[in-house]
Amino acid sequence: MVRFLKLYEKIGIFILIILGGVFLAFATPNFFKADTIFSIITQGTYGGIVAFGMVLAITSGGFDLSVDAVVALTSVMLAVTIPGLGVPSAIIVSILISCLVGFLNGVLITKFGVNPLITTLSMATIIRGVAFLITQGRQIPISQSGFMNIGTGKLWLIPYPIIIMAVLFIIFYLLLYQTSLGRYISAVGSNEGAAFISGLNVTFIKIMVYVLVAFTASIVGIIRTSQALIGIPSMAPGFTLTVLTITILGGTSLSGGKGNLIGAVFAGIFISMIYYGLNLLGVEYFYQMLAIGLVLIFALFIDGLRIRYLEVAKVKGIKV
C-alpha cells in the first residue's frame, strides 16, 4: 500500500488526465484540435495560478478561504480605477489592495492567534461585502477595450493566460524549492515550534505566504475581468473549493511541510477537463460543483491514506 501511495503521489494526476483525455476523445471529435486543448488549459490556469499560492499556504501549515472574494475585489477595483488611472496603474493598485488583504490575514493569524479557517472565512465575507458596497451591487462595464487583450490575446498562438501561468510557475517553483524562504515555509509547516526555536521569523514567513496567496488571486481577477470587460462583485462563486481541490489533488498534503507545484498545474488542467466534459454533456452548473466536491473528497481520502500508512511505515522502520 505504501508503494502504491508513493507511486500515486508521483504519477496519479497524470493517470487521471490520461483517463479524462480518453473519455473526451470519444465524447467529442474536436478534442485533439489545438483550439480545444488551448481552451481547456486556459480554463485550467484560473485555478492553477491561485493554487500556486495555496500550495505555499498549505505547505506552511495553513490555508486561505478568501481567494474567491479577493478575485471579486480585484475585479471591482479594476473597474473603478481604470477610468481615472489608466490600465497599468489600475492593475498595480488592484494588486496592492489584494496583497493588503493577504497581509491582514497573515497578521490576524500570526499576531492575534486567530485560526486560519475563521480568519480567512471572515475576511472573505468582509471583502465580498466591500465589493458589493463599492458597486452598490451592480456590475461596472469597462470601456477600455485594449484591457481585454490580457485575457484574450495570444503570443505565438499561445493564449496570454497560459503564458502568465508559466511565468508564475517558474517564479513560485524557484521560490519554494530554490530559496531560503521556500525552505523556511516547509520548515514552519513541518514543525512550527521547532522552526521558531531554531530562530526562524515565523510571523514574517506566514504573513508573506498569505500575501502571495492574495497576489495569485488578484492575477486571476485581472485575467477574468479582462475577458469579461466588466467589474463583477459576485465574480468567482465557489472558486475557493476549486482551488483547494486542485491543490490537494495535485499532491500537496494538508499535513503541511511539503508542497507540489507541478502537480497543481496538472490538477488544474484535469479539473478544467471535468468542467469541459460536463459542459459537453449538458450537465448543469450545480451538478458540476457536486462533481468537483466529490473529486475533493477523493483527494482528501487519498491524502489521509498516504499520511496514515507513511506514519505506520516509519514506526515499523520501513524505508519510504
pLDDT tens-place values along the chain, 320 residues long = 556 566 666 667 788 888 888 887 787 777 777 788 888 888 899 999 999 999 999 999 998 999 999 999 999 999 999 998 999 999 999 999 999 999 999 999 999 988 999 999 999 999 999 999 999 889 999 888 888 999 888 888 889 999 999 999 999 999 999 999 999 999 999 888 888 888 899 999 999 999 999 999 999 999 999 999 999 999 988 888 889 989 988 888 887 778 889 989 999 998 888 888 888 777 777 777 788 888 888 888 877 776 676 666 555 555 55
Q: How many Å separate Cα 271 from the centre of its chain?
A: 12
Strand, coil or helix: 140 = strand
Q: Helical H runs in the chain? A: 2-27, 34-59, 67-85, 87-110, 116-135, 149-152, 160-178, 180-190, 192-197, 202-228, 239-249, 261-280, 285-315
**Grid cell of 219 as nine digits:** 492575477
pLDDT value of residue 317: 59
DSSP letter at 236?
S
**Grid cell of 236 as nine digits:** 468567482
**Grid cell of 278 as nine digits:** 460536463
Fold (topology level) of 2-311: ABC transporter involved in vitamin B12 uptake, BtuC (1.10.3470)
DSSP letter at 124?
H
Distance of alpha carbon 169 from alpha carbon 165, whole angstroms? 6
Distance of alpha carbon 299 from alpha carbon 197, whole angstroms? 33
Question: Residue 53's CB: how many other CB atoms inside 10 A?
Answer: 30
Residues 6+ apart with CB under 8 A from 131: 69, 72, 73, 75, 76, 233
pTM here is 0.91
